[in-house]
Structure 1
Amino acid sequence: MATDSGRVVLVTGVSRPLARNFASLLAADPGVDRVVGVDVIPPRGDIGDVAFIRADIRSPIIAKVIAREGVDTVVHMSVIATPGSAGARGTMKELNVIGTMQLLAACQQSEHVRRFVLKSTTTVYGASPRDPAMFTEDMEPKRPASSGYAKDVAEVEAYVRSFGRRRDDVDVTTLRCANVIGPRVQSPVTSYFRLGVVPTVLGYDPRLQFLHESDLHRALTHAVHSSVPGTFNVAGEGIITLSQALRRLQRARVAVPSFALPQLGSALKSAQLAELPHELRSFLTFGRGVDTTRMRTELGFEPTYSTPEAFAEFASSLQPTGGRTARLVDALAERIDAEELTAVGPGGSRG
């Protein structure tokens, strides 16, 4: 039978690299007896001593897994950011929201669960021109999300808070992580920075914060071992502007008007080069900053990498790229120019 010290840990979403790598590292932790990884498809590569169970958290079967394995700590990492990885937006929402609800229902039934850790994201704050310089954990987004990943995350967090109120004997910790970056990370933001020619939004130079992938693993491990309930922003110290980031990348950049970003995103997605979901487009336009005082003073966690250091290591790992992105951007620019010319009537006025 599991003890109350968090020795049997269930990690969701282990088919994806971040969760798989975290579960593998946690399984080697001498303070953890056993790690159980669940997902609908098996993880690729070595997962160390993780016991993988093929299970869909949208199904009531997850309750049987938690009971049978004597799980006392759950680390929820299967809230996904893009519909491409799920197949469609509807499936993505089911996995994120319905999956979380079913997982929490399973935890509600369990007598053994004593700790629940949610890997959330600072995307929940959104990104808009009316944002404060730094979001604290008590602040709400200036423009609440009406769809997409940000809306999913807001709903997931609400369900997790409700679970915490119903089960006050369970320590519920929510880590709102800045965009995770590192040599092994595959995500919309890292795919964007890996482009051969990086598009930026004309007239904007947003402030960015990042969290190194190793610090994500350290923060989650800290939450597993610590009994510190609450919601915490987690990010590397400092900020970096997009222009500074691109200078470190030593990649060509091209500024495009904001109205052209959705078209460019569709072209990049079709070419399987990158995805630019709405949340990322807003982030690359207005940026976002979060206050991490609680992370240090209450959670008791300090990242190893600052934001500039995390980005520098990511940049140093990049290989030279080809010209497919340049051709896509050039084609889009020609199409926009043609549309502008068509819209202009005789004498230079618009029809």
Structure 2
Amino acid sequence: MGKVVLVTGVARQLGARFAERIRRQPGVDLVVGVDVEPAGRRPFPSGDPQGQAPPAEYVFAPADLRRPAIARVLAEYAVDTVVHLNVSATSPAAVGRAAVKEINVIGSMQLLGACQQSSTVRRLVVKSTTGVYGSTPRDPAVFGEQTQPKTLPSGGFAKDAAEVEGYVRGFGRRRPDVAVCVLRFANIVGPGADTPLSEYFTLPVLPTVLGYDPRLQFVHEDDAVEVLRLATLDPAAAEAPDTAPDTTGTRNTGTFNVAGEGVLLLSQCARRLGRPTVPMLLPALGWVAALARQTRVSDFSAEQIGLLMHGRVVDTTALREVFGYQPRFTTPEAFADFAAGQSRGLLPPERLTAVTDRLAALLRHDLPATGDRS
């Protein structure tokens, strides 16, 4: 019998895409999608246009992870692989921050408790975020998986993810027979991205913090789905299907940073989108953020303001050398694909580039003259 994969958070774009992808993998017999409500559109076409093997069966199991019912779902379908994608900064339904925190933290605790009691679960994959490292002026230039944050996140999605990772580590100690993989994703972008930062970049004018131009990293949604697929499958089993693999020793077990190579400055992102920036003093930006949340224009959290001040860059050596995956999209390429799907900004990108080049040329021309006068 093949794998039975349970995927949480299928009402979101990433969860729906991943469930569709994993059900087409050889060796997967059943995919169980779990969420409070199904996705707005059916993400699973009935046929396979590429002529490959027919997709595995898909079952949607409506369940609130905050309730003990998830244990019955695991037992009913004899789930052996759990992919937990229901840790997110936002919710598909219009709920407040308190409800989102309950879904992230309490829901994860219930799911881990059910996995601990299950006799069939052998693999757990958890979606996390590089936000667990925080964003402070005392941060190192690059975060590795073992780097401890200077200051723990004080609230928001980053704090939720840090708490969930703590519960996952406790689960791993109690169930050493289960292979656990934690994936810390940088900001996910792409044509279908639905994250708070992607909402920020859709604003006609981008408010920024005066005096700051942070370094940002991105991961393309296609790379995110592929990393989740590899983490779900067992390479040892694929290489030696006739043997019983030691799931705790496979290469896709552990904690990994996931991001495209390279970085972009916030000012570069704005130019690529053709959107002007409005530098503000920090208190004024806080007022704008509060107004954006009240009007539901954008989920402008204090955590995001910290990112827009200090940025964050992570090391992805372990992803390439241990996990065995090189992202197809670099950070600039991932953001370019995101920008291509956005509406044209107030200022055409080529005009912004021309103005920037002109200013740089004037500076180069003036500097020697200034030196001569001195």
Normalised to the residue count of structure 1, the TM-score between the two structures is 0.87
Partner of 1:270: 294
- The letter of the residue matching 2:232 is V
Of 210, 216, 221, the residue aligned with 1:213 is 221
Residue 281 and residue 82 in structure 1: after superposition, are their counterparts in 2 closer, same or farther (change >3 A)?
farther
Partner of 1:10: 6
Percent of aligned pairs sharing the same letter: 51
- The letter of the residue matching 2:182 is T
Unaligned runs of 5+ in 1: 323-351
Q: Does 1:297 align with 2:318?
A: no
| C-alpha separation in 1, matches of 2:272 and 2:316 | 25
- The letter of the residue matching 1:168 is P
- The letter of the residue matching 2:328 is T
Contact 2:273 2:345 in 1 (8 A): no
Q: Does 1:47 align with 2:81?
A: no
Q: Does 1:160 align with 2:168?
A: yes
Partner of 2:260: 236
Contact 2:82 2:123 in 1 (8 A): yes
Partner of 2:85: 77
Deviation at 1:83, TM superposition (A): 7.1
Residue 86 and residue 149 in structure 1: after superposition, are their counterparts in 2 closer, same or farther (change >3 A)?
farther
Contact 2:12 2:92 in 1 (8 A): no
Partner of 1:333: none
The number of aligned residues is: 319
| C-alpha separation in 1, matches of 2:344 and 2:194 | 17
Greater Cα radius of gyration, structure 1 or 2: 2
- The letter of the residue matching 2:133 is Y
- The letter of the residue matching 1:11 is V
Deviation at 1:95, TM superposition (A): 0.8
Partner of 1:29: 25
| C-alpha separation in 1, matches of 2:278 and 2:155 | 29
Deviation at 1:251, TM superposition (A): 1.2
| C-alpha separation in 2, matches of 1:236 and 1:321 | 25
Contact 2:172 2:178 in 1 (8 A): yes
| C-alpha separation in 2, matches of 1:119 and 1:36 | 17
Deviation at 1:85, TM superposition (A): 5.1
- The letter of the residue matching 1:37 is G
Q: Does 1:141 align with 2:165?
A: no
Residue 54 and residue 286 in structure 1: after superposition, are their counterparts in 2 closer, same or farther (change >3 A)?
same
Residue 89 and residue 275 in structure 1: after superposition, are their counterparts in 2 closer, same or farther (change >3 A)?
closer
| C-alpha separation in 1, matches of 2:42 and 2:91 | 26
Deviation at 1:193, TM superposition (A): 0.5
Equivalent position SS for 2:257: strand
Contact 2:214 2:310 in 1 (8 A): yes
Equivalent position SS for 1:50: strand
Deviation at 1:276, TM superposition (A): 0.7
Partner of 1:308: 332
Of 196, 211, 227, the residue aligned with 1:203 is 211
Deviation at 1:16, TM superposition (A): 1.2
Residue 50 and residue 266 in structure 1: after superposition, are their counterparts in 2 closer, same or farther (change >3 A)?
farther
Partner of 1:180: 188
Residue 187 and residue 78 in structure 1: after superposition, are their counterparts in 2 closer, same or farther (change >3 A)?
same
Deviations 1:204-228 (A, max 9, x none): 0000000000000000001011332
Deviation at 1:321, TM superposition (A): 6.2
| C-alpha separation in 1, matches of 2:94 and 2:131 | 19
| C-alpha separation in 1, matches of 2:345 and 2:296 | 14
Partner of 1:67: 75
Q: Does 1:254 align with 2:278?
A: yes
Deviations 1:271-326 (A, max 9, x none): 3321211111111110000001111111111111000000011111111368xxxx
Contact 2:143 2:315 in 1 (8 A): yes
Indicate the larger mover: 285-294 or 45-54.
Answer: 45-54
Equivalent position SS for 1:18: helix
Residue 84 and residue 19 in structure 1: after superposition, are their counterparts in 2 closer, same or farther (change >3 A)?
closer
Give me the CA root mean square deviation.
1.7
| C-alpha separation in 1, matches of 2:264 and 2:27 | 36
